Amino acid sequence: MSESTTQFHLVVVSPTEVVYEGNVERLIAPGTTQDIAILPDHTPLYSQLSKGNLEIMERANRTKTIAIEGGIIRVKLNQVSVIVGF
């Protein structure tokens, strides 16, 4: 598979800064009723997020965790935006 189908572009922003930006393989986000798993080619989605952790898999053995107090996630055409801290 090419990189375009095994990864998607993720941007996490707060009102004051870009918290994270990069191409990732997977994102687990805290939804209001359960965690939301985002993989490449995910169907379009808008959703509210709860307090918890964003678990970002950058590549096979590299994971980053970002604590959030809630936010909004948008998924469209392998572009994922998370707005936090508002």
CATH classification of the domain holding 50: 2.60.15.10
Q: Sorting pLDDT into bands at 50, 70 and 90, what band is 37?
A: very high
Burial degree of 57 (CB within 10 A; 0-12, 13-18, 19+): middle
Strands (E), 1-86: 8-13, 18-24, 26-30, 35-38, 45-49, 52-59, 62-68, 71-76, 79-84
User: Does 1 have pLDDT greater than 70?
Assistant: no
**Tally of domains in the chain:** 1
Question: pTM of the prediction?
Answer: 0.91
User: Does 39 have pLDDT greater than 90?
Assistant: yes
User: What number is the average pLDDT over the span 70-81?
Assistant: 98
Q: Pick 2 or 13 by higher pLDDT.
A: 13
Domain that holds residue 33: 3-84
User: Does 2 have pLDDT greater than 80?
Assistant: no
Can you give the pLDDT at residue 59?
85
Reading the block at residue 3, the tokens are 């990189």
Helix, strand, or coil (residue 32): coil
